[in-house]
Structure 1
C-alpha cells in the first residue's frame, strides 16, 4: 500500500515573487525598521518580544499598556534597559509621531489606540505579520494552521512529526516560542498556530502550506459577526501555497481554493488523507492519488483517542506530507506526541464513573466534540459564552446526557437550551463562585452519575468569570475529583 513520498520541497526565498512595498523598501533580508517610530500595543509575551526585536533593529519603540501593577513595572524596567520607552496606565492614547503600530492579539480593532491609528492611516501589524516581515533571506518555510478548536494539539502533533523526520522544527505563533524570535533562530521549518486575531492583522503571509481545521461560532464579540470571523480564518490561504481543508466541515471546506487538499474521517478520495478501517491513509501526497495510497499510522497511534483528535492528526499529517515528510515519520511523531493538560484528560475512575477534564473546551464546538466521545455523560458546563449560541450543541448531544451541572456567568443560557432541546435531562444549577465551588460541583455530578457514565468538564465557555484560566479551572476540577476519590477509598 505504501508508496514513496514526494521529494521535500526546496526552501523558497521568503519573499519570492513579491515586489517592494509602496514606500520603496525591499523585503530582501527582512524589512528594515531602522529609525521608525513604532508603538507596540500590549505588554504581554508577544508584545515584549516584538519590542525587544524592534529595538534591536534600530526602531524607536514605545510600548503601551493599561496595566500599572508591580509585575508590569518590573517588565517595563527590563525593556527600558534596552532603550524601549514604556508607558503604563494608558493604553488608549496614540503617541505623536507614530508611523507603525504592532498590536497584540487580544486588542480589539475598535479600541481607541487602534482606531486612532487606522483613522490616521498608520499601518497596523500583528506580531505574526511583523515576524513575516522580519525573516531573513532563506528563512525557514512556514506550515500554518488555524481553526476554532484543536489548533494547539494539531501544531504540537505537526512539530513532533517534523522532528521525527529529522528536521529542526519548533511550534510558534499562538503557542510556544514568540514567533518574532523564532524566525531569526535558523530553524528548518516552523509549525505555526494562528488565531483569528492574528490573521486579522496579517496581510502578507505566504506559508508553504496552510490548513483550516474547523470553523464554528467563537469570538463573535471580537470580530462582530461569524462571517467576519470566518473571513479572517480564510486569510491563511494564500496564492501558491498548498491548502488543506476539512472535508467533513462545510465551512472549512468552503474557505479553501478549488485545488485544496483535504482531510476526512471517512475513506479518502484522491486528493485527501483519511481513515481506512484502523489506518490513517494518504491519497493526496503520493505520485498517483487515483491508484495508490500511503499508510501513515494506525488509529491506536492517536492520543487521546477521540474522533476530533483523529482529525487533528490527519491535518498535521497532511501539512507534514506537503513538506515532504515520509510516512514512517508521521507514525513516529504521533506516537511521540504527549497531549497538553486539560484536553480530554482522564483524571480518575470513582465507583465505576470516569471523570474527564476537558477544560480547554472553551466554546460550543469544542464541547460538542468532547461530548461526542462519551456514551453517557454528566456534563459540567458554563462560563463565558463570548456571544456564541449553544442550541445546536445541546440538540446534538441531548441523547448522550445523563444530567447537567451548570456553573458560571452564562449558565442560564445553557439551562434554557437544555429546557428546549433536552427537557428530560436533570439540571443542577450551582451559582457559587468561591474557591470551594468546584468541590460542590463534582459532588453534585457524582450523585447524578451511574457506573459506566462519564462526568465530563467540557464547559463550552471561557473561564475568566470564575478562574484565572481554563488551566486553573481544570486543576480545580481534578483536585476536587481526587478528593472525591479519597473519600470513596476511605468508605471502602
Structure 2
C-alpha cells in the first residue's frame, strides 16, 4: 500500500492525513513530540523525527508533505528526498474538471484582516478563506470551493515551487521571522517568490518599494503598486473617509477593495463597512474606572507595534513590550518612543535587550518579567488621559501557549479589581 510521509502533526497537516486516509493512502507521520514508534487507529505510523531515514525500507515514501513552520535547518527537511508543500500538493490535483481561482494574501502584518475582508466581499462568488486561517486546503479541495482566499505565510511560500494564485496581494513587508529565514533579504525573496511562478493573465498588488526588484521585472502578469492608503484610495476611486476604518485597518480595507475591483470589477464599500476586526488586534476596552486599555497581543513584530504607537501618539502611553522577538531589531520602537510621552514595561525573554535599548535612548522602562506584574504597575499610574497598551513586538511562546492566551490574560488582569 502506498504511504506518504507527513512532517509535523498539527493544525495544517491533520486535515491532510485525514484526506489521504480517505483516498486509501496511509501516512508515516514524523513529529518532534513523538517519543516512540506507534500507530493510530487508522494504521498511520506515528514516529519521532529522528526515525526518518529515507533509506529505511520500513518507512519509505514517495512524497513528504510538511507543516510549513518547520525551518529549513531541521533534520527532517535536510534529509527529505521528495519534499512538497501543502500548496503544491493540492494545486497538483487541479484538473479541467476542477480548477478554482485563488487569491493569496501575504505580508508582515494585516494578512488575517485583509483575508477576512476579502472573503466577506467575495462571498457571493463562492469565496472561502484558508491557508493560515479558515478552512484547511484539504477541505477546500474536497468541498470544491470556487474561490480560495488564502492567508499565506512566508514559510509556505518558501517551500512552494509550482502553485500560484490568480491574484497575489502583498501587504507591506517589514522585519520578521529573521531567525527562520536567516536574513531580511531572504524573507523578502520568499515574499516575492510567487511572482516568479505566475503566468500571464494574473495580477499582483505590491508595495511601491519593490517596483525595481528583479522578481517584479520577471513577473509575466500585470502589477499594481501602492505607496500608502491615500495612494490606494485614489487608484480605486473612493474617498478615504468613506471606508470607515482607521489605520492600520484602513490599508487592509483598501487593499481588499482593490483586489475586488481587479478581479470582478466591484467596489462594495457598504458591505465592507459591516466587517468587524478580530480579537487581540488593537482591541480597545475600558475598566470600571473608565481607563482605556488596548489588547494588541497579535502585534508580534516591530512594525505592528509601531502602528499601534502611532495610533495613540497623542496620549500618555504605558506600553507592555517583550517576548520572543526571533532576532528582530527592536531599535525602531525606541526611535519612535523618544518622541512620545511613554513608559515601557518589559516582559519576556528579550527583556534584557529592551532594558539596554531604553538606557541608550533615555526612555523610562520598568523591569517586570511577567505580564501580570506589568499590568499591576501600569494600574498605579494610568489615568483617563492615557492608554495601557499591550503591543509586545514579539511572539508569545516564551511565556504563553499563544498570542490569544496572552491577550486574554492581559484583559483579565486589566479588568480585575
Unaligned runs of at least 5 residues, structure 1:
1-34, 276-280, 283-292, 433-437, 488-492
- Give the match for residue 23 of structure 1: none
Measure how far apart 1:455 and its partner are. Answer: 1.0
Q: Please identify, of 445-454 and 254-263, the stretch whose mean Cα deviation from structure 2 is larger.
A: 254-263
Preserved contact between residue 210 and residue 216 of structure 2 (Cα < 8 Å) = no
- 2:225 alignment partner, SS class: strand
Q: Does 1:65 align with 2:10?
A: no
- Give the match for residue 9 of structure 1: none
- Give the match for residue 317 of structure 1: 257
Determine the C-alpha separation between the residues in 2 that align with 1:66 and 1:214.
33
Preserved contact between residue 218 and residue 363 of structure 1 (Cα < 8 Å) = yes
Aligned residue among 363, 372, 375 for 2:301: 363
- Give the match for residue 299 of structure 1: 243
Q: Please identify, of 226-235 and 50-59, the stretch whose mean Cα deviation from structure 2 is larger.
A: 50-59
Task: Encode CA deviations 1:349-381: one digit per residue, 9 max, x unaligned.
Answer: 564531000000011111111111112311100
TM-score relative to the length of structure 2: 0.89
- 2:233 alignment partner, SS class: strand
Preserved contact between residue 92 and residue 111 of structure 1 (Cα < 8 Å) = no
Measure how far apart 1:113 and its partner are. Answer: 1.7
Measure how far apart 1:295 and its partner are. Answer: 6.3
Q: Does 1:53 align with 2:19?
A: yes
Measure how far apart 1:194 and its partner are. Answer: 0.5
Q: Please identify, of 473-482 and 232-241, the stretch whose mean Cα deviation from structure 2 is larger.
A: 232-241
Determine the C-alpha separation between the residues in 1 that align with 2:212 and 2:293.
34
Measure how far apart 1:94 and its partner are. Answer: 3.1
Preserved contact between residue 296 and residue 331 of structure 1 (Cα < 8 Å) = no
Q: Name the Cα RMSD after superposition.
A: 2.5
Task: Encode CA deviations 1:206-248: one digit per residue, 9 max, x unaligned.
Answer: 211001101111111111111111111111322322010123x
1:231-250 matches, within 5 Å, as 231-237=189-195, 238-240=198-200, 241-247=202-208, 250=209
Q: Does 1:400 align with 2:340?
A: yes
Task: Encode CA deviations 1:290-336: one digit per residue, 9 max, x unaligned.
Answer: xxx46698132x3xx3x2211111111222222215112x430x222
Determine the C-alpha separation between the residues in 2 that align with 1:260 and 1:91.
44
1:344-363 matches, within 5 Å, as 344-349=282-287, 351=289, 353-363=291-301
- Give the match for residue 129 of structure 1: 88
Q: Does 1:175 align with 2:95?
A: no
Determine the C-alpha separation between the residues in 2 that align with 1:230 and 1:481.
38
Preserved contact between residue 67 and residue 89 of structure 1 (Cα < 8 Å) = yes
TM-score relative to the length of structure 1: 0.76
Unaligned runs of at least 5 residues, structure 2:
none
Determine the C-alpha separation between the residues in 2 that align with 1:443 and 1:391.
26
Q: Please identify, of 122-131 and 172-181, the stretch whose mean Cα deviation from structure 2 is larger.
A: 122-131
